[in-house]
Structure 1
């Protein structure tokens, strides 16, 4: 129960901290560093709890040793009192013999009580020793996982930085594509072509107007010549009339 309660409480704390970090994760490096700190603190909490459990086990061991020692001492006292009683009984002193036999019985009673105490503590000692061994093993496992977490943290931070650098390169390339001046050349060229066409249209219009002006001059020339010939005809006709 002690093992389950200690590591159960710590595992719940660790899971709660990790869930909180994941919910608020913005900077992967900071999140991983906090995870390492939280797990390190959890190991410290586990060490303190396990140290207390080991201390309780050592107290039980001390009490057991004291009961075993007391049982041995009372056994020795019972033996000494019994031998003393035998000596008095051999000497014919039954009063003192009975007195020391009674003392031997008291010593044996206390020996039995101490033995019972020691015997009743042995299952608890065995169970507590097993718990402590498992706690120590669990603590060593936590420390190994901390090393794995620290190594994984370094790997993930490196991968995160690489991904961020690649994203920066991608964004830079994307911005270069957006700002690429050659992408606007087609629009500029189309604008220039329209201006050139406009100039050609103006030139063509100007040329057609000039042709019309020359045509008017030609027409005027023809009319002038007609008038001149008509005048000549008139003049020639008049001369003929006079001469006749």
Structure 2
């Protein structure tokens, strides 16, 4: 079963509402257009059959009208010849033909009304189809626009991230350079401090040695004095 089950469903349908409810409006509009085109072919085929039926009914009407006229002439001739019985029989045949003619006229009228209805429905369906195709073009354009905008936004985001990474790397390099400068300023400072410390230690050792020599001298003097 298609999207629409009857022609009236298509004519009375709200395309915007259908598309709003659809998960995939592009797919939905394609199916709607396909359904409309198929229905339009069917309705036009029905119209062709109705037109053929109208032509046939018109031919039957013409034939019956001629036949009724002929029976009218025969009844008149029979009456002129004094054959009332034949005139009555001819008029009876004319009445029968006239009754059939009345039925065909009703049939023709019904076909004519049906044709007018089909013509109106074809016009409405064609308008719906045109609207659907216009909406399809709009959807395609909107999709292309959205795709382009999304692509542009992704590119902008990518560029922003790349710029952020580059800035971060730049700041890292600056920090590395600053740390390198600081470390370079400290180069040799430890050696100088170590050297100064060793020299200070030597001076300290000399002072201690001098004190030891003094104490030794004092002890030697004290030992001599006791002897």
Bucket of the pairwise TM-score, normalised by the shorter protein: 0.7 to 0.9
Deviation digits for residues 89-112 of structure 1 (CA, Å, limit 9, x no counterpart): 112233432332222111111111
Match 2:193 to one of 187, 201, 204: 204
Contact 1:10 1:42 in 2 (8 A): no
Deviation digits for residues 167-192 of structure 1 (CA, Å, limit 9, x no counterpart): 322232233234x1542543564477
State the partner residue of 2:9: 5
Structure 1 unaligned blocks of 5 or more: 23-34, 235-244
Match 2:54 to one of 51, 64, 68: 64
Change (3 A) 1:15 1:139: same
Structure 2 unaligned blocks of 5 or more: none
Contact 1:2 1:131 in 2 (8 A): no
- Report the Cα distance in structure 2 between the residues aligned to 1:156 and 1:193, rounded to whole angstroms: 53
Change (3 A) 1:8 1:100: closer
TM-score (norm: length of structure 2)? 0.72
Determine if the alignment matches structure 1 residue 84 to structure 2 residue 74.
yes
State the partner residue of 1:55: 45
Contact 1:10 1:46 in 2 (8 A): no
Q: After TM superposition, list the pairs within 5 Å mapping 1:12-27 onto structure 2.
A: 15=19, 18-19=22-23, 21=24
Contact 1:82 1:104 in 2 (8 A): yes
Change (3 A) 1:7 1:123: closer
- Report the Cα distance in structure 2 between the residues aligned to 1:176 and 1:186, rounded to whole angstroms: 14
State the partner residue of 2:163: 173
Contact 1:7 1:46 in 2 (8 A): no
- Report the Cα distance in structure 2 between the residues aligned to 1:199 and 1:7, rounded to whole angstroms: 94
Q: After TM superposition, list the pairs within 5 Å mapping 1:87-166 onto structure 2.
A: 87-166=77-156
- Report the Cα distance in structure 2 between the residues aligned to 1:38 and 1:171, rounded to whole angstroms: 38
Contact 2:71 2:91 in 1 (8 A): yes
- Report the Cα distance in structure 1 between the residues aligned to 2:176 and 2:196, rounded to whole angstroms: 30
Determine if the alignment matches structure 1 residue 186 to structure 2 residue 175.
yes
Report the RMSD for the aligned CA atoms in angstroms. 3.9
- Report the Cα distance in structure 2 between the residues aligned to 1:150 and 1:223, rounded to whole angstroms: 105
Number of paired residues?
Answer: 215
TM-score (norm: length of structure 1)? 0.68
State the partner residue of 1:44: 34
Cα distance, 1:154 vs. partner? 3.1
